[in-house]
Structure 1
Amino acid sequence: MKKSISALLGEGGRPAGSQREIKIIDTTLRDAHQSLWATRMRTRHITPVAGVFNEVGFQNVDLVAPIQFDVAVRYLKEDPWERVRLTHEKAPDTKFRALIRSKNIAAFDFLADDVIEKWVERLYANGFRVIGAFDGLNDVNNIAAGLRKAKSLGAETFGALSYCESPVHTDELYVQTAKEIIEKADVDTIMLKDAGGLLTPERVQTLIPAIKSVIGDRPLELHSHCLTALAPLVYLEAAELGCDMLHTSIAPLANGAGQPATQSIVRNLRELGYKVNVDDEKIAQISEHFSEIAKREGKPFGKPLEYDALHYKHQLPGGMLSNFQEQLATAGLEDRFDELLEEIARVRAELAWPIMITPFAQFVGTQAVMNVITGERYSNVPNEIKKYVLGYYGRLLGPVDPDVYDRIIANGSSDIAMERQPIEPMLPDLKRRYPEATEDELLLRAMFAGNQVDDMKEAIKNGTNDEVVPSSMLGLVKDLAAKRKTGRVYIKNGDLEINLSRGE
């Protein structure tokens, strides 16, 4: 490294005495259980300890992104808005934050602009005073309007730079994206969002100074995952380079696929001479609370992972990687796992290097599975892949491989227009269909098709909202293994809906 953490130490390894404050953004109630507990933290897990969070001294506490609404409605059968309200009531002095995913919130296809605007309004009305957004293609036009709306309501706002490793994701790209977010949305904070845990101490040595050089006096946040075991070192190096806020989770909901542990990061920062104004005793109380839940309910404890260089090749999120391995093994195809990882890397390069986060990790992974199982690359094309290459989800950062593009267009559904059409407003029709529904319920109905909201309400009414285990992609794998030629397949897996159809 050109610089290292050791630069913070004086003679004899003693702290150099930098008294700069590093602020902590807690992710225990949001990304931690998303990464380690399959987003299965329930409202009853949160409310007893929310008052303790109120006293820790975190800069913000991360509470919801779209997946928390998705899992609450479809699997836990809980009202996610009620969770939001109860948590705010228990911790009135805490700045909880909400993260918006592009223009699709919990779905994969974009939603109408009136839904996005109302979503921001209801986040604010339900107590959120810190609201941010990210886009998997770093297309600022997909997030700027929502951020401007949040700011107009009085919320603090943050814009995310979604990070990955590729030939097109350069320092220059992130500098230009940061400038564009500031110009188009005037955000209060910039967040470097490393969902794949791909950053290294060496990589941040150029990236963080480059971003800091163009964001003025706005704070820079860093959010990463421990998938390569490097995130704790990356955090300390980032602090040295001027990063202002770090995202951490309270163990046992830390490490593994999650964020670095608050306890160890805070301790190390203080040893290196930084001020971190959080209450260690309160953090220990929260840790004990979630440790008891994990023991009682058989939920995993986060543990440090070994370094895995292969991760940089496929860049799959940890949960998705383990799911693929299990599903292939169940189908008797475990010997093809390495082949699948190679195919994922190949597909990603052919599709102009999408970042392997929702929804693009699912798109690339699903296409790779179909390519491997059928033996005919791109002979079966999900609707989402065709929409992606046609720019339905935003501006691509590079050209799609021409031969692959032609095969996708030819074998994808002919029902998909070559240009995305404007999306008509959704709320007027929903109001006509559900005249007694609140605005919060209407938004859930805009996000979740069929009877899912009704099922949630019925389960709450009857007290039967026990956890439901989601179906896996195994059915898709088995079907494709058995049939080389597929007419039409529809499958739903968690927040992923796949429509397969032969070209017509």
Structure 2
Amino acid sequence: MSDTSTPKLVNLTLRDGQQSTLDAADWVFEPRDFAKIIAASAKAGFHGAEIAGGQSFQIAISRGYNPFTILGAVSHALSESEDMQDFELQMLFRGANALGFRHYDKDVLEITLNEFIKNGITKIRFFDALNDIENLELPESVKAAEGVVLEGAICFTHYPEAPERYSDEYFCHYAQALIDAGYNAIAIKDMSGQLTDDRISTLLPALMKVLEPGDIPLTLHCHSTNTENSSAAIARAIEFGVDVIETAEGCLAGGSSHHALSAVAPQLISDQDSYDKLGNRINQIWGEMPDRKDQEIPQELKEQLCAAGVPGGAMPFVIRDLQQQESTIRAKYLSSPKATDKTIDLEEFSTIVDLFIAELKRVCQDAALPLLVTPTADICCKQAIANLAIGADPYSDSLADRYLNRGGQPNPDPRFAKLILGYYGELKAYDGNGGVHQPKPEVIQFFESNNRLQLTAIERHPSHTVGGNDLREAQHSAWQLIQRLGTKALSFADFDQLTILYALKPAGAVQVDPIEQAVESYVERSERAKIDGSGSTFPDYEALMQPMLSHLSAMFVLRPDLEVKDIPLFPLEKLGKNLCSHLFDIYIDLPIWTSVTSLSNHLSKLLSSSHISPELLEAVRNVSMSLAKLDARPDRQDKDKLTKALDSFSKLTISDLLNSIALINSFINDIAKYGTNPKAYAGRSIGFEDMPWLTKTSGSYQATDPWESRIQQSITGKYLRLENDFQRRSENWKA
């Protein structure tokens, strides 16, 4: 625990700030925007930022962004910035549900977590919707990851009708279970904004006694849905010495999001000018008044839903669904013989919300009082609305009347039945006796008999009964995508990342391939980003260019001293090991190599011909040797050569890489000229060492041979367009 009363600060704007306030179409995913907010946060005294995980993963894909690319660009830029290398990059992970909505095989969880760590995540917050420790088992490779904070989140809730259920003792025992499982930090995750200062006064001291022996830091994550309660809770937590508090800033603060630091703890602002600039930067990106979905809900309704345990992020969807079903719910109430109070004002929408809250409480009772967080919040809220709208008689005490329609059919969404039957895990009591809170036997029996998937109560914990084919099937899908789209797919993501994207894709994505759609959106966006088309001097130029520009856009923000003119001379290794390896994969699969093979075969035939002039023979030999010297691909059968080839590739400059491919393309396109004037195009063989002089402007390099001058004049225009295109685009990113 901290030995000071000043907690560290984490900025949640980029992940939870967006998730709590914006529609998917309004999210921002450009690395340069992330870098701007991170740079401003660091200057304002923040120690870290949450930038990945939660719903951001699926939303990024739906918008044509690779979440790993965003993270990799930002983390590499941080590593290149001397004064921000200790800034923490945080993500949210749903335990066994990973970044999806079902249990995944352990190998999928492991490669996903390791890919995030590889791309620069330094703190991972894990949570489970049921606080089920078995859903939070850490892979050994993740436990062993150096310099990574593994934070277990205690999801907080409170049922006024059963206060003993989620007691301080329960949360303390759960915290100890997390520590025993290998977590080295703990967070209180108050997703619904139910914490009060009174509860903090008992819960925090109790937790600190558990955490103190291991010097385990404690973070408070508290949504501002109930403004008064949450601000008082945070203030009290600071008094008790909580180690970390989290805020959202600028135009995405408050409401169902999180308090701004200025609103809840202004005494922690270390530099007011820098803090004001952070807010201004955020407002520049999203606008002073973005279209916030949470602000459409009256505060009174928010506080009603908050008291019922509905998370702020779920509230807009609950209100939308209730509005869509409002007339049906009203008619159901009026026609029900079990609805006792016919005098209530059903024309008031707040009354519809009251009916929903009452049914939500009954639904939660049937489910043994679960916590309401992703995905259980969505499951239980949707089930309560379905009961009110399509149940035979939602105001009856009969399970059949509430959960079946008048035709005796269950709700089309089977997730609530899966929750009842144990497919999401267990509600452990953490009472020292291995106790588990389960639905009543009659409820379990009812849902075994009434679910569309013909499920029975699970006999083994779901974390031990997953299928085992998730990874293999995802790898197959990734390989098929690369076969269809080639370097377009590889430019978007490497093979391992494509595998993860397929493994975690939404279960309902059957008719369309969301990953292929993401690649196509990415390609379209890349085309729109062009300054002009003159730089496309070889096929799939964009496939190599776009990943580099994403990284550079973040570097320009965090490295103000970076000069655009220096970028083409960067060795590829300066872009980071991950990107260099990614570019190598793209390079190996460029379609130009098919044409090179055809040209090489043609040249071999010429070399073996007895009817060839000495001049042409020399030219053909030089072109053939040039093609070999400009080919940085390895022998795929030799792993040692693969490593050496990657090392050599990483030493190439950006300019050398792009220009060498453009030169190969010139050889391919100019094949007919070798026969008419071979000396003009192939006085000797050319390799990577020749790239610098070939790209010099006329007059800046004195050619030693006539053929050098001719070849320079012939192809230097292409190189100049290519380098100018690169420089113009780099300047555009920097501006």
TM-score range, shorter chain: 0.7 to 0.9
Aligned-CA RMSD value: 2.6
**Inter-partner Cα distance in structure 2 for 1:441 and 1:56:** 36
* Alignment equivalent of 1:288, drawn from 280, 301, 321: 280
DSSP 3-state at the match of 2:425: coil
* Alignment equivalent of 2:317, drawn from 317, 323, 339: 323
- 1:386 lines up with 2:417 in the alignment: yes
**Inter-partner Cα distance in structure 1 for 2:514 and 2:440:** 39
Greater strand proportion:
1
User: Where do residues 238-257 of structure 1 align in structure 2 (5 Å cutoff)?
Assistant: 238-257=237-256
* Alignment equivalent of 2:388, drawn from 358, 372, 377: 372
Counterpart code for 1:133: F
- 1:221 lines up with 2:210 in the alignment: no
How far the C-alpha of 1:203 sits from its partner, in A, is 0.9
- Tell me what 1:359 maps to: 375
User: Where do residues 192-203 of structure 1 align in structure 2 (5 Å cutoff)?
Assistant: 192-203=188-199
- 1:116 lines up with 2:109 in the alignment: yes
Q: Report the TM-score, using the length of structure 2 for normalisation.
A: 0.56
Q: Which has the higher contact order (CA 8 A, sep 6+)?
A: 1
User: Where do residues 56-455 of structure 1 align in structure 2 (5 Å cutoff)?
Assistant: 56-74=44-62, 76-92=63-79, 93=85, 94-146=87-139, 149-154=141-146, 155-166=148-159, 167=162, 168-185=165-182, 187-216=183-212, 217-229=215-227, 230-267=229-266, 270=267, 276=268, 278-295=270-287, 298-300=290-292, 305=299, 310-311=304-305, 313-333=307-327, 335=346, 336-374=352-390, 375=393, 376-379=401-404, 380-381=410-411, 382-397=413-428, 398-419=437-458, 421-435=465-479, 436=482, 438-448=495-505, 449-450=509-510, 451-455=513-517
How far the C-alpha of 1:316 sits from its partner, in A, is 1.2
How far the C-alpha of 1:322 sits from its partner, in A, is 3.2
- 1:51 lines up with 2:39 in the alignment: yes
Q: Report the TM-score, using the length of structure 1 for normalisation.
A: 0.81
**Inter-partner Cα distance in structure 1 for 2:527 and 2:420:** 40
DSSP 3-state at the match of 1:131: strand
157 and 465 in structure 1: CA distance in 2 versus 1, 3 angstrom threshold: farther
CA contact (8 A) 2:151 2:187 kept: yes
1:69-92 per-position Cα deviation (integer Å, ceiling 9, x unaligned): 111112x22222221122223433
- Larger Rg belongs to: 2
1:90-148 per-position Cα deviation (integer Å, ceiling 9, x unaligned): 433221011210211232211111100001100110011112201111111211324x5
**Inter-partner Cα distance in structure 2 for 1:142 and 1:20:** 34
DSSP 3-state at the match of 1:91: helix
How far the C-alpha of 1:169 sits from its partner, in A, is 1.0
How far the C-alpha of 1:280 sits from its partner, in A, is 3.2
CA contact (8 A) 1:456 1:465 kept: no
Counterpart code for 2:470: M
Counterpart code for 2:402: R
**Inter-partner Cα distance in structure 2 for 1:328 and 1:183:** 43
Structure 2 gap ranges (5+): 80-84, 331-345, 347-351, 394-400, 405-409, 429-436, 483-493, 529-735
283 and 180 in structure 1: CA distance in 2 versus 1, 3 angstrom threshold: same
**Inter-partner Cα distance in structure 1 for 2:304 and 2:245:** 26
Identity %: 23
Counterpart code for 1:141: E
**Inter-partner Cα distance in structure 2 for 1:169 and 1:176:** 11
Structure 1 gap ranges (5+): 1-17, 271-275, 467-504
DSSP 3-state at the match of 1:252: helix
Q: Number of aligned residue pairs: give it.
A: 439
**Inter-partner Cα distance in structure 1 for 2:102 and 2:303:** 33
Counterpart code for 1:66: G
CA contact (8 A) 1:28 1:253 kept: yes
**Inter-partner Cα distance in structure 2 for 1:294 and 1:432:** 39
How far the C-alpha of 1:432 sits from its partner, in A, is 3.5
Deviating more after overlay: 252-261 vs 408-417: 408-417
Counterpart code for 1:150: V
**Inter-partner Cα distance in structure 2 for 1:318 and 1:131:** 22
* Alignment equivalent of 2:28, drawn from 42, 64, 80: 42
30 and 265 in structure 1: CA distance in 2 versus 1, 3 angstrom threshold: same
DSSP 3-state at the match of 1:434: helix
204 and 48 in structure 1: CA distance in 2 versus 1, 3 angstrom threshold: closer
313 and 404 in structure 1: CA distance in 2 versus 1, 3 angstrom threshold: farther
**Inter-partner Cα distance in structure 2 for 1:385 and 1:465:** 44
How far the C-alpha of 1:306 sits from its partner, in A, is 6.0
Counterpart code for 1:248: T
How far the C-alpha of 1:19 sits from its partner, in A, is 6.4
CA contact (8 A) 1:427 1:442 kept: yes
**Inter-partner Cα distance in structure 2 for 1:309 and 1:153:** 41
DSSP 3-state at the match of 1:25: strand
- Tell me what 1:26 maps to: 11
Counterpart code for 2:220: L
102 and 261 in structure 1: CA distance in 2 versus 1, 3 angstrom threshold: same
How far the C-alpha of 1:253 sits from its partner, in A, is 1.5
Counterpart code for 1:370: A
Greater helix proportion:
2
- Tell me what 2:680 maps to: none
248 and 173 in structure 1: CA distance in 2 versus 1, 3 angstrom threshold: same
**Inter-partner Cα distance in structure 2 for 1:294 and 1:124:** 28
Counterpart code for 1:249: A
295 and 97 in structure 1: CA distance in 2 versus 1, 3 angstrom threshold: closer
How far the C-alpha of 1:164 sits from its partner, in A, is 0.5
How far the C-alpha of 1:319 sits from its partner, in A, is 4.0
**Inter-partner Cα distance in structure 1 for 2:424 and 2:166:** 18
CA contact (8 A) 2:29 2:60 kept: no
